[in-house]
Amino acid sequence: MVKTERVMWVNPWRVHLTTMGNPDFNQYAPITDPENLIAESLDELRDSLVEWQDYNMVGFGNWTEPTVYHKDEPVGYLSYNLKLWKLEMRSVPIDELYGPDVDSEKRLDSYLISGYVPPRLRKKKED
């Protein structure tokens, strides 16, 4: 009997990724196999998605706006630029995602949950 070890996450973030072909490039079938990404934080999940997009050469025409899950509850979907948007039929508890002490600058408009800057575009902090 083979034992499998399950990784238990305290606050798991999860997304199931699929793609579609882009007819502009004569692609008529998905360009990747379905894949699940799991991370400890939303930013870590987005960093993994940037690597996944680059590695698989996934462009805007291939993107399928995957649903993001936090603690196995759907919280929103990701646009191609990796902004997390609210699901239309459910409000997202901002305090639960960010904590009750988040500054007002991090609370964005009613549709956008959080902005995202890919690692390659982030300003490096000077020591």
Dump pLDDT digits (tens) for 52-77: 999 999 999 999 989 999 888 888 89
Lowest mean pLDDT among 13-22, 29-38, 55-64, 90-99: 90-99
Tell me, yes or no, whether 8 lies in a domain: no
Query: Which domain, by its residues, includes 48?
Result: 13-20+29-118
In a domain, 103, yes or no: yes
Please tell me whether the overall predicted TM-score, pTM, comes out greater than 0.75 for this model: no
Q: Is residue 7 part of a domain?
A: no
- CA dist list (Å): 125 to 61, 105, 117, 121: 34, 19, 14, 12
**Which helix (DSSP H) or strand (DSSP E) does residue 45 occupy?**
helix 42-56
Domain count, the chain: 1
Q: Answer whether residue 126 is part of any domain.
A: no
What gap in Å lies between CA 80 and CA 61, rounded to an integer? Answer: 9
Count CB-CB contacts under 10 A for residue 40.
12
- Amino acid 72: pLDDT: 86
First to last CA, the chain: 53
Q: Is the pLDDT of residue 1 over 50?
A: no
